[in-house]
Structure 1
Amino acid sequence: MTRLERFRSEVPRPDPDRLRANEDRLLAAITQDPRRPAQGAQGRARRTASRLRRFGLVTGLAAALAAGVVVVATRRADPPAVIRPMPAAASEVLTRAAQHATRTPELHPVPGQFLVYESRTMDPAEGQGRDGRQVRYLSRAVRKVWLPVDGDATGGFIEEEVLEPKPWPGWPIPPEARENLGRHGPSKLADFDDRAEFLRNDYAYVSRLPTDPRKMYEHLYTQLGNTRQDDTDAWDRVRGLLTEAYLPAAQRAALFRAAAAIPGVVTVEHAVDASGRAGIAAARVDPVRGQRQEYIFDRETYLYLGERSVVTDAARAGAPVGTVMTSSAQLSVSVADHGPSAAERD
């Protein structure tokens, strides 16, 4: 019953304006003359999308109207993947990471077990202090997270050691930043999981992701389009599959090859993770945030080390160019038969 409730909670309530817009697009697709020629790659994409709408969406809509209700059959069904060709891979770092993905020992967790992630993090913290003034600083911590292999996010636990914060350039460290220094937990990680199906990163889900790079590329662009911002969002989704997530080697290799084809990816020859380990990074600039998001790999083994974001536009990021705003280091990933005992928990 809990799983059924999670199914239901992931279905957003559509607003009337969006329904009307979707209805207009559907009617336009139905009435489009299939003999009418379309030009170039965009035309081929439109024809493919039109065929899918006619043979999939139209049939589903007719059935739903006949029944008077739209239902979601299973939680496992993703929204249709974006129809766009995968460009040629442009990132040598990610291509090499894909080639090395099958050369390391593999974990084989089973339902009932936990994947245990240990990491070091730094993240920006902003808000209002006790005196009403705005505060900004960089919070740091060492984390240990237990996540169930079967995908129940509400069954996870976290233990955290809050470290001495670092200053946000130009801002003093406020007293509030040091209030929770020290070790906390283990404690329950979450009481709910409101992520969309295609954004899940638990092992039960990612172990069924495509092993074909082109299909993995489509997965990264689920419900996205063809703008630069969509490319940025797809790049951010790679982070979701690398941070406190474990993909089998085949899916991991497909992810790296798919990420290598996202437009705008560049190589950063010298990058350092949150624990001070030096490596080489595949990176992409987010012009809206004014930061470069880097995924860091060991220069020899191409094992994933961690990630960081570096300021490229001071005005947009609110910090000098070159400032490291976020940083992480994946210290270890292991399998445990159980989570922390009741005596260990807060």
Structure 2
Amino acid sequence: MNEMTRLERFRSEVPRPGPEDLRAEEERLRAAMLAPATGRPKARGTRRFRLAVAVTAGAAAAAVTAGLVVAGSGGGPHRAPAVHAMPVAHVELLQHAADAAGRTPELHPRPGQFLVYRSVTMDPVESSTGGRHARYLARANRTIWLPVDGDATHGVLETEALPPRPYPGEALPPEARGEAGRSGPEKAADFDRRAEWLRTDYAYLSRLPADPAKMYEHLYSHLGTGPAADGQAWQNVGGMLTEAYMPAAQRKALFRAAAAIPGVRTVGRAVDAAGRTGVAVSLDVPGAGQRDEYVFDPKTYLYLGRRSVVTDASLAGAPAGTVLTATAQLSVRLADRAPAVARR
């Protein structure tokens, strides 16, 4: 008897809740992720339904860890599986990520220092040569020094181009192969016009609330309600995870708050830009025909990276399942200074 058969037999012994029950349970779990800091009472339900959900959520978490909640083929190096997640599994995954935040050695940046991030990136590039339009996927190793104090214009960037990949269904254009080699050190940014509430430097992130409910409110700063606001709040989560660092207390609050964003789902298998396989939580971007995923190590639940995956070919202009962008965060460390930038 294989694992899926055992799982199905185990679940068959418990009455399956209907769609309304599942929606109500997701709301209950969303409230539960935030309730410890607010004192709000948990929603009540029947004993039998609570048992059913407990079994479903527990089975889902186990299936996510084993990579069993996704059906479908990867379909090549740039294809991602379709999402077929059991209800409430994303709550379990993000709770594990919150717990893991307190188990890892913590950095203690000082004013004047730099946080140094090493990563691998993949992004679509469009080019026009001789009246010919082409697309391909550019890849690079990236190291960036960002000041702890928050002025991004003092950041320094080095990149090393990696072999590009063809855009799905298209040939690799000749100009794509001419981008090999290193660049930098150079200024990471000429200006930084982000609003205060969108800052992701350590000086700002370290002052954010460690209370999940208040962190949830921060994610929705200056946003309304509805799917578009939820999508932007989800993007804000990614901004606080990618080339950004915050104390463990704030990371815990962030993951618990992220679990409460409506529409979040689990992806049972996701590969980051460095080729590491993990599990992911995702949200469909309204009107974009793609989902944004945050990938975690399936054993330690540490954050690995993020990626965007096409869900609607007509909206995204690429085959469904295509991974359009991806990052893999390889390391984060402290440095007392950044490399000197060559004068132009």
What is the TM-score of this pair, normalised by structure 1?
Answer: 0.72
Task: Read off the aligned partner of 2:289 and give its amino acid letter.
Answer: G
Task: Read off the aligned partner of 2:242 and give its amino acid letter.
Answer: T
Task: Name the CA shift for 1:342/1:200 in 2 (closer, same or farther; >3 Å).
Answer: closer
**Alignment gaps of 5+ in structure 2:** 1-29, 34-87
CA distance in structure 1 between the aligned counterparts of 2:171 and 2:265, rounded to whole angstroms: 34
- Give the SS at the match of 2:102: helix
1:171 shift after superposition: 2.2
Task: Read off the aligned partner of 1:217 and give its amino acid letter.
Answer: Y
Is contact 1:138–1:165 with CA below 8 Å preserved after alignment?
A: yes
What is the TM-score of this pair, normalised by structure 2?
Answer: 0.72
Q: Deviations over 1:304-346 (max 9, x none)?
A: 0111111111111111111111111000000011111468x88
CA radius of gyration, larger in: 1
CA distance in structure 2 between the aligned counterparts of 1:282 and 1:328, rounded to whole angstroms: 15
Task: Name the CA shift for 1:266/1:161 in 2 (closer, same or farther; >3 Å).
Answer: same
CA distance in structure 2 between the aligned counterparts of 1:296 and 1:285, rounded to whole angstroms: 15
**Equivalence for 1:309:** 308
Task: Name the CA shift for 1:342/1:228 in 2 (closer, same or farther; >3 Å).
Answer: closer
Is contact 2:156–2:341 with CA below 8 Å preserved after alignment?
A: no
Sequence identity of aligned pairs in percent?
64
CA distance in structure 2 between the aligned counterparts of 1:299 and 1:93, rounded to whole angstroms: 9
**Equivalence for 1:120:** 120
1:133 shift after superposition: 2.9
CA distance in structure 2 between the aligned counterparts of 1:129 and 1:144, rounded to whole angstroms: 29
**Equivalence for 1:234:** 233
- Give the SS at the match of 1:103: coil
Is contact 1:200–1:206 with CA below 8 Å preserved after alignment?
A: yes
Task: Read off the aligned partner of 1:163 and give its amino acid letter.
Answer: L
**Equivalence for 1:105:** 105
Q: Deviations over 1:12-71 (max 9, x none)?
A: xxxxxxxxxxxxxxxxxxxxxxxxxxxxxxxxxxxxxxxxxxxxxxxxxxxxxxxxxxxx
Is contact 1:164–1:181 with CA below 8 Å preserved after alignment?
A: yes
Task: Read off the aligned partner of 2:122 and give its amino acid letter.
Answer: M
CA distance in structure 2 between the aligned counterparts of 1:287 and 1:117, rounded to whole angstroms: 30
Is contact 2:115–2:333 with CA below 8 Å preserved after alignment?
A: yes
**Alignment gaps of 5+ in structure 1:** 1-85
Asked if 1:204 is matched to 2:203, the reply is: yes
1:88 shift after superposition: 4.4
1:245-324 correspondence runs (5 A): 245-324=244-323
1:1-346 correspondence runs (5 A): 87-89=31-33, 90=88, 91-126=91-126, 128-341=127-340
**Equivalence for 2:57:** none
CA distance in structure 2 between the aligned counterparts of 1:88 and 1:262, rounded to whole angstroms: 13
CA distance in structure 1 between the aligned counterparts of 2:306 and 2:189, rounded to whole angstroms: 24
Is contact 1:160–1:183 with CA below 8 Å preserved after alignment?
A: yes
Task: Read off the aligned partner of 2:111 and give its amino acid letter.
Answer: P
- Give the SS at the match of 2:179: coil
- Give the SS at the match of 1:191: coil
1:174 shift after superposition: 2.2
Task: Read off the aligned partner of 1:202 and give its amino acid letter.
Answer: D
CA distance in structure 2 between the aligned counterparts of 1:259 and 1:149, rounded to whole angstroms: 24
1:165 shift after superposition: 1.2
Task: Read off the aligned partner of 2:218 and give its amino acid letter.
Answer: H
How many residue pairs get aligned? The number is 259
1:275 shift after superposition: 0.8
CA RMSD across the alignment: 1.6
1:137 shift after superposition: 1.2
1:179 shift after superposition: 2.7
Is contact 1:129–1:176 with CA below 8 Å preserved after alignment?
A: no
1:190 shift after superposition: 1.4
Q: Deviations over 1:221-265 (max 9, x none)?
A: 011111111101110111100110001100111110000000011
Task: Read off the aligned partner of 2:117 and give its amino acid letter.
Answer: Y
Task: Read off the aligned partner of 1:233 and give its amino acid letter.
Answer: Q
Is contact 1:151–1:205 with CA below 8 Å preserved after alignment?
A: yes
1:176 shift after superposition: 2.7
CA distance in structure 2 between the aligned counterparts of 1:167 and 1:342, rounded to whole angstroms: 33
1:288 shift after superposition: 1.2
Is contact 2:310–2:322 with CA below 8 Å preserved after alignment?
A: yes
1:170 shift after superposition: 2.2
- Give the SS at the match of 1:208: coil
CA distance in structure 1 between the aligned counterparts of 2:245 and 2:123, rounded to whole angstroms: 22
